[in-house]
Structures are given as structure tokens and as C-alpha cells.
Amino acid sequence: MDKIFFTYKIPDEGMLLLKKFDVEVNTEDRFLQKEEIIQKAKDAAALVTLLSDKIDAEVLESLPKLKIIANYAVGYNNIDIDEARKRGIRVTNTPEVLTDATADLTMSLILAVSRRIVEADRFVREHRFVGWKPDLFTGPSLSGKTLGIIGLGRIGKAVAKRAKPFGMNVVYCSRKPLLSNEEEKLNVSHLSLEELLRSSDFISLHVPLTQETYHLLNEKRLSMLKAGAVLINTARGPIVDETALIKALRSGRLAAAGLDVYEEEPDVPQELIDLDNVVLLPHIGSATKEARIEMAMMVGRNVAAVLEGKEPPNPVV
């Protein structure tokens, strides 16, 4: 019987799809070290991983029976894809199901940052609220402002649709621009990255982490921002040069930021924690019960398909 090893417990709905196999799960509330994954999965035909699990060439070489790595995430930059392909190991992910959840969180961050929700909440909890004042926690309105979306894939499009009822003008940059009829339907306009940075009041990131997008927003590009702009990142931390981001926030070039991801996740620089003009979240873009359950079921279907000699529904390789 094929063995499946889970590096971390996922919702039961996905695991139930695999009950006919030999399933072993890390039941501890902690992430496993590379050596532990190698030891526990040495006889596994399937490995179910999180984005925090680094599955490199050393791990793959140590798991000779491995047929599939099912990543419980949309991204898969934690896995050495080239090495997996070379070894004939299938890799799958959980696309599409996170679209609405992540788009909702993006809009939540835009609202939380612009209306200074976290600051105001802390102000009340610290018993500093003594009455209404004309200048108490004022922030920018969304109506009439320009939202620049970097990467207009599924999530980017979903954010664009959500921004429109708030009266926002939406522009985007993407490696492949939409057709004119698609732009008209979404009511969005294509700009170059530099034009978008210079003209947007809010910038939201929705590109995958690749060699091309690593530090896409570096010090030079962050210096192009309109004074008082707001940056939202629910994509991947390393897309932004965190050192340059902190500098831009401190200088006032960037008015505020809403972050769900970090460059050296889970480590968050103390410099960011100390800033009042940043809302910090613990990578919860997909954290709706519905999304997490569907992700688990996608993992179950992918693993079952490969172990049964079939094509997985969500292949990366």
C-alpha cells in the first residue's frame, strides 16, 4: 500500500479522500525541519507539503519512492521544480480556489490602512478616546482614487471588480495586456510598471514570485511612487525589497502599507513592527474555512489520481 506523508495536518475533508492509502501525518503544531521530512517520508510515495516546507534536491534525492508532491498552496516556489521534473516526480498545487478569499483580504487591507482601523482600535483599547475630534484618525477616501494592480491574473481581476463599487479608478500592468474588449468589460486601463507607480494612489501586488519578480519593487521603483501612496502586498514577500520598503515608509514617500507576506517569512523585521503606518497580517490571504477545505480536497484529489496512475487535476509538472 502506498504511503502518504503530510508535513502538517490539513482539514479532514481532504484526508478522507485518501483513507484507502497508508497515511501518516505530522500531528505536532510545528513545522518540520528538512532532516525530519527526509526521515519521516523516506518510504512515502506521496508528500503533502506547505509553502514553508523547502523541498530541494537533497530532499528529493532522499525520497526514492516519491511519485508526487502535493503542495497545499497556490505558490510552489518552495519546491525545486526542475529537480522534480528530472526525477519524474509530479508536483501539484491548489489554484483558483484562493481567488475570492485573497481578493477579499486585499480590499480589507486597503480599507484598514486607509481608514487607520488598527491604529484606531488600539487607541480605544488603551483608553485614550476622550471624544470626537475633527482630525482624529483621518485618512484618504477611496472614491476617485487610482488603484494600480501589478499582475492582472485571477486574483488581480477579482480585486479590480471589488474596487469599482468604491468608486476607484483601476489601472494595471501585466506581462501580457488584456484584449481591449476585456479591458472594457473590467473597466481597467493598461500602463507600464513605471507609469503605474507614478500615477497610483494605492498599489496592490498580484504576481507570482519568480526570478523576474524578485525585488520587483526595489529602492529605485519605490522612489517613483506618488507622495502619500499606499502599498498592499498579499502575493509574496520577496517581490518587495523589505529594506527599501522600510526606508520609504519612514521617509513618508510611502504613506502606509498593508502586508500579509514578508521577505524572510515568518520573520518580520522589528523596524516594520515599530511603524504605526503599517498593518501586518500573518499570511492569511486564503484563510476562509471554505477556501481551506477546498484546498484540502484538491490535495486529496491530486494525490489519489497520481497514486492510481491517473493525471492529477492540478499539475505543475
Catalytic residue among 183, 195, 265, 271: 265
Residues 48, 71: Cα–Cα separation, whole Å? 6
**Residue 190: how many CB atoms within 10 A of its CB?**
16
Spatial strand order in the sheet of 22-25: 22-25, 3-6, 46-49, 68-71, 90-92
DSSP 59-101: HHHT-TT--EEEESSS--TTB-HHHHHHTT-EEE---STTHHH
Active-site residue flag, 283:
yes
Cβ–Cβ < 8 Å for 225, 243: no
10 Å CB burial of residue 193 (0-12, 13-18, 19+) is: middle
Active-site residue flag, 206:
no
Active-site residue flag, 198:
no
Residues 234, 162: Cα–Cα separation, whole Å? 15
Cβ–Cβ < 8 Å for 227, 252: yes
| 202-205 and 229-233 beta bridge pairing | parallel
Cβ–Cβ < 8 Å for 194, 222: no
Residues 189, 174: Cα–Cα separation, whole Å? 11
Catalytic residue among 236, 242, 292, 301: 236
Residues 219, 26: Cα–Cα separation, whole Å? 41
In 3D, which of 2, 48, 38, 6 has the Cα closest to residue 24? 6
Q: At what angle do helices 154-163 and 99-114 cross, to 10 degrees?
A: 50
Give catalytic residue positions.
236, 265, 283
